Chains A and B, each alone.
Chain A
Amino acid sequence: MPTHTLIALSGALSEDSQMPAVSVKLPIHINFKNVVRLNSRGIKLWCQWIGQFKAPARLHFEECPAIVVKSFNLVKGCIPDTAQVDSFFVPLYSSPTGERKDVLVVRGRDFDGKDVRVPEQKDSKGNPMEVDVHETYWSFLRK
């Protein structure tokens, strides 16, 4: 028996995106790992599409890249009440080398509610990397 419906998004979330028609009988897992870019027209399309999933629909967002988290935080309705973020990427930065690394944090393992534990990372020279987000990055966790 299938346990959920998986939607894997890829490419740019933009005005050209095609969003699928989905039954809400099973929980819907939306994976963002391969979303490489998004823009304001894509956000509008997203809000129109995601807004159709009212309770009792259950949505799970997985592997949200930093640009998705940043943009969703800035726009009302991107993460509806019926949705839960199960995993997302946190960017880390090394001042000495300028390198960036995006680390996946997973609900239950790395965060629960508001507290997020980001696994330590080192840059290519062995320097510790710092979490590179403004405090507003976590605001979706407070919803």
Chain B
Amino acid sequence: MKSVFEEYGHLWPQDVVAKVEPLLSRVMVLQFPRDKDQINKVKPQNVVVVTDKNLYDGNIQLFEVGFEHCVQSTRDDFANELLASSLMALRPESFMKDPIPFFFNGFQTSEMATASGRHFKVNFSSSGESSTILQELEKFLTKNNEMASLKDICVQAADEMISNAVFNAPMRPGGTRPNVRLPRNQDVFIPDSKYATLFSCFSENRVIIGCADPFGSLEKRPFLNHLRSVFAEVSASVRMTGESAGLGLKFLIENAANVYVLVNPGKQTLIACGFLLEGLKANAGASKHLHFSFR
């Protein structure tokens, strides 16, 4: 296996490579399926998987054995996402703290995004706030035609993220989830005066919708099992028992081009989707860049 720098150093301009060479030399590349015999021989941390396979044809197993970043080699934004993935692999805590620079290839800070009016951020502590937040997000997404054309799927993604943060994420120290069985049509509060944050930001090429909660309670095994069940077929089944429909993750991944799920256990979960500013088809049809990290 080669490092990202050895294998793909030629993809970036010289001035960029000069800055990031030390970092890219520390991250390895696993080409899937070409290097599949290496899967159980390497430590998956600090490895970026480069593939043209998607969730329907076999890349869930890569996450099951511990790889965290799966980047699609056929996408036009491959080089950018590979760079961002390499930085995420090396600095997951930096990503959790301030993800925006990673979404935009390390060249735009959250301060720059805020100053340019390209950043939407709101804290919330109850499901009753959802409707107002989604209306505000909708206004933000009409800043240009390209985003407005994706408004319905972006708002749907945000809706699912808010619901997840209020109902599924809260966990008490003993491991109980106080909100998970509560009816979804009640105004339910995140316990212990905690709050979650919904954010959105955009560049010339993409818009991000994301949500961070302060629990870090999303567990890898149930998450990947759920992923397997909802991506076994194009049409998924509604979960009829319990309060959740079990479809939020399916909607997020099917509609977005990039999906980020990063968990700092017991501290924070960050879920985000990236949408290409090229219309609905470009996103639904995109091979997905996926980032699932649980450490």
Contacts and interface: CB of A to CB of B under 8 A. Distances in A.
Partners in one complex: yes
B52 interface: no
Interface stretch (B36-44, B69-77, B115-123, B147-155): B147-155
Contacts of B254: 74
Interface in A63-97: 65-67, 70-71, 73-77, 91, 93, 95, 97
Interface string B117-154: 00000000000000100100000000011101100110
Given A134-B284, A139-B234, A74 B251 contact: yes
A24 to B, nearest CB: 22
B277 A98 contact: yes
Given A66-B152, A67-B152, A37 B159 contact: yes
A99 B234 CA distance: 28
A39 B245 CA distance: 9
A133 interface: yes
11 contacts: A37-B134, A39-B160, A41-B245, A66-B280, A74-B234, A76-B238, A77-B237, A99-B145, A100-B148, A100-B279, A132-B280
B245 A93 contact: no
Q: Which 3 A-B pairs have the closest CB atoms?
A: A98-B145, A100-B149, A93-B279
Interface string A112-134: 00000000000000000001111
Nearest to A135: B285
B246 interface: yes
- The size class of the interface chain B forms with chain A is 35 or more
B251 A73 contact: no
B281 A16 contact: no
Interface in A94-113: 95, 97-100
B235 A76 contact: yes
Nearest to B252: A40
B246 A40 contact: yes
Considering residues B163, B238, B239, which has the most beta carbons from chain A within 10 angstroms of its beta carbon?
A: B238
B237 A98 contact: no
B255 interface: yes
